[in-house]
Amino acid sequence: MHPAFFPIIGFLAGSIPFGFFIAKSQGIDIRQHGSGNIGATNVLRVVGKKFGITCFILDALKGLLPVILVQQLLGDVPQRDAWIVGTGLATILGHNYTPWLGFKGGKGIATSAGVLIALFPIALLVGLAAWLLFFYTTRYVSLASIVAALAIPITEVVRSVMAGEWRIPHLVFSVLIGFLAVWRHRSNIKKLIAGEENRFVPKSKRGA
């Protein structure tokens, strides 16, 4: 199989709108509720906890599995690392801009987490710690996600300096997904600055 097929496979896997299907199974068009986003956070808010967690796991798996596939099947070819990270990036783009819903998808946090499990497990742990810290101190999912996304390239730079080894494809990828995550949250950033962003309130506690 030519290496170029792997990013295509990654994009198609990433484009599966699990959040849309999960909400639709409950008679809800998730695009018409909450933030209008098809990602796990909006599914959790609108449909419920178990549905949101299921969506997160599925979105993460569609990021993880294509990267594992290319790692296992891609032989010793030129620019091997570039093809691997390219597949991961294509998977995230498939989620963010799914062609099945008019190229309007999620913000890529869960899918990026799946890709990072395969590529940057340590950076993922740092990002997760940053997410938990900012989420539980502010209750803003968007802010926690932005900080976690920025922690990934910073961690990769620190790792490169400490190891004296610069994996350029990995570094470029970490910067790109960090930028992409921040870009997809640009409307949230405007709301945060204006003091209009909603803090996370579980469905079960709304109206209490």
- Residues of the chain whose pLDDT is less than 50? 208
Q: What is the DSSP letter of 198?
A: P
Residue 198: what pLDDT?
86
Residue 2: the pLDDT is 87
What pLDDT is attached to residue 205? 58
- Residue 203 has what pLDDT? 56
| Dihedral sign of CA atoms 28, 32, 33, 34 in order | positive
Q: Could you tell me how far CA 82 lies from the centroid of its own chain?
A: 19
